[in-house]
Structure 1
Amino acid sequence: MEKVAVIGLGMIGYELVKKYLELDDYDVYIITRSDKGFFNDVKKYFVDITNEYKIKEIIKKINPDYVINTAAMTNVDLCETERDLAYKINALGAKYIGEICKEIGSFLCHISTDYVFDGNKGNYTEKDPINPINYYGYTKAEGERLLNELDYELISIVRISVPYCISPVKVNFFMWVLERLKNNEPISVIIDQWNTPTYVNELVEGIVKIYEQNINGLLHFGGEKVSRYDFALKVAEVFGFDKSLIKPIKSFEMNWKAKRPKDTSLNSKKAEKLLNIKLKTIKEALKEIEKILK
């Protein structure tokens, strides 16, 4: 049996643990800050990744074959005001995990973000230069840099964008839209910001394959390019809700602390080729979710 350690029990961490528990070849370990009451039969270690000594000690103790770091501070506006904490979690935390993985020879998959880009062009490939325009993006870019500086071959950095699925852990953009439309409540959604939302169920399959096929380096794992507004319309269409409840608004009307990049759409052709997959369209993913919910 191989050992897999999932760090962080947010939306992606939760789905990863669920996935690995379905597979027979792995012993699963969870490293998380606090107990949310999930997976009570799985071995859990409660550690904050900003505690260098503790996180390294625990990973060394588990001695996993594969470590997946999903822990991050992802609230973009909060990162702007809580800069010290954001840097410790998103940059230094990633570095500590990378250092101990290198020391014990574990394969590491680290989750990063489309917000490392400035959003001026879109359709970004792995070769495009990064240029974050907010502090969240900066800390995630720093996390990537510190991992790359380790010069360790067994690291895969996966950039994602607006992850969505039905999650018991965290309300994501998709779930918020679905819930409001279901209750016949009007919503205002941004029409001038584009990205490539990442379907978490697909991402999890990809992360499993990354280790099985020993794929290292940088990968983009987005999906179909849409504005938030278009995404909301697709949700209404697939689930049969009233599209007129969705009102378009512009970014400048939002009371954000942090700047948001305009178009951070990710080109995921490299991931599709290396992992031998075809990423679903948003409609296909939503139809799959609809079946799950029935």
Structure 2
Amino acid sequence: MPQRILIIGASGQVGREMLSSISESMEILPTYNETALNGGTRLDVLQELNVIDLVLKFKPNIIINLSALTNVDRCEVDKDLAYKINAMSVKFITRAAMVNNSYLVHVSTDYVFDGEKGMYKEDDFPNPINYYGLTKLIGETFALSYDLSLVVRTSGVFGGKSNFPKFVMDNLKKGNTVKVIKDSFYSPISAKFLAKAILDILPMRITGIINIAGERISREDLAKRIGSRLGKEGLIDIVNENEMKWKAKRPRDSSLDISKAKKLISFNFYDIDKNLDTLGD
């Protein structure tokens, strides 16, 4: 029998890449909430009975949860919604996975860390400094309460319409100056490579936590690489964080140690330039 995979939140950038990369031998049920998806099933992850009902009807071997409220400033303002989507819905999905004995893969974030040291390993102690990170950490806790679960921590996912590299590229192409904060490090990865990497390790049925992200780089250097590709480096303006007028604090260095993933994943998912190449896809 083919593997049945339920992809929750498949209408997002990682979900769409996953659907385009997944083996045709697998039986897929993609879900969406607000953004319609051809062939998808609408699912409100805040309705626990709906989640359990869908899982019991489809009986997936694997559940991949990509749903999240990832706008960091919005999470700081609309805390109730952030908690419901990033924490409580994971509790509901985890319960449904338990009932059906499904393998659960839940995608989380580098923002569970405070950014004081960087290059965080899977077993480093989390200490979020914004509400987004806190809700994602609580979601991780719910997922990890189930023995057949894997939490994938990632960083700065880009692809689709709304993300830092795309913002930089689009504005530079228009001849606009781009403000980039200095001394800010992370481990960005394209949605395409993240999706492929998750699919690559699915057969291994790893449990616990794994970091899947790109190489450590500063946002300044990343912007300059994009600028260099376009011949527009002169339009990049390096500023202090307090000039950005964000509502939520950002960790200074939320880069992730990906040593574990490098040993398990069969392709180079972490090279920054290879990841940036996907922006033209």
Q: State the Cα deviation string for residues 26-76 of structure 1 (Å, max 9, x = none).
A: 12211111343x4x2x2x221211111111111221111111101001111
- Distance in 1 between the 2:20 and 2:105 partners? 17
Is the contact made by 1:210 and 1:216 (CA closer than 8 Å) also made in structure 2?
no
Show the counterpart of 2:12.
10
Show the counterpart of 1:219.
210
Show the counterpart of 1:115.
111
Amino acid in structure 1 at the alignment position of 2:193 = E
Show the counterpart of 1:60.
56
Say yes or no: does 1:283 pair with 2:273: yes
- Distance in 2 between the 1:35 and 1:223 partners? 27
Say yes or no: does 1:187 pair with 2:178: yes
* Alignment partner of 1:245 out of 216, 227, 235: 235
Is the contact made by 1:190 and 1:227 (CA closer than 8 Å) also made in structure 2?
no
Q: State the Cα deviation string for residues 73-114 of structure 1 (Å, max 9, x = none).
A: 111111111111111111111111111111101111100000
Is the contact made by 1:197 and 1:223 (CA closer than 8 Å) also made in structure 2?
yes
Please, what TM-score do these two structures have when normalized by structure 2?
A: 0.95
Residue 289 of structure 1 and its aligned partner are, at CA, apart by 4.2
Show the counterpart of 1:268.
258
Q: How many residues align?
A: 279
Residue 241 of structure 1 and its aligned partner are, at CA, apart by 2.7
Amino acid in structure 2 at the alignment position of 1:182 = K
Residue 276 of structure 1 and its aligned partner are, at CA, apart by 4.1
Q: State the Cα deviation string for residues 121-161 of structure 1 (Å, max 9, x = none).
A: 001000110000111000000001112223x2x21100011
Residue 288 of structure 1 and its aligned partner are, at CA, apart by 4.9
Is the contact made by 2:106 and 2:152 (CA closer than 8 Å) also made in structure 1?
yes
Amino acid in structure 2 at the alignment position of 1:198 = I
Show the counterpart of 1:161.
155
- My pick for the range that moved more, 128-137 or 57-66, is 57-66
- Distance in 2 between the 1:86 and 1:157 partners? 19
Q: State the Cα deviation string for residues 234-273 of structure 1 (Å, max 9, x = none).
A: 11223x3310001101111111111111100000110111
Amino acid in structure 1 at the alignment position of 2:206 = I
Show the counterpart of 2:33.
33
Is the contact made by 2:193 and 2:269 (CA closer than 8 Å) also made in structure 1?
yes
- Distance in 2 between the 1:95 and 1:63 partners? 18
Residue 278 of structure 1 and its aligned partner are, at CA, apart by 3.5
Amino acid in structure 2 at the alignment position of 1:266 = L
Runs of 4+ more than 6 Å apart: none
Say yes or no: does 1:231 pair with 2:252: no
Identity %: 36
| Counterpart secondary structure, 1:13 | helix
- My pick for the range that moved more, 76-85 or 115-124, is 76-85
Is the contact made by 1:45 and 1:58 (CA closer than 8 Å) also made in structure 2?
no
Is the contact made by 2:189 and 2:270 (CA closer than 8 Å) also made in structure 1?
no
Is the contact made by 2:200 and 2:266 (CA closer than 8 Å) also made in structure 1?
no
Show the counterpart of 1:77.
73
| Counterpart secondary structure, 1:30 | strand
Q: Unpaired runs of 5+ in structure 2?
A: none
Show the counterpart of 1:105.
101
* Alignment partner of 2:162 out of 147, 150, 171: 171
Amino acid in structure 2 at the alignment position of 1:5 = L
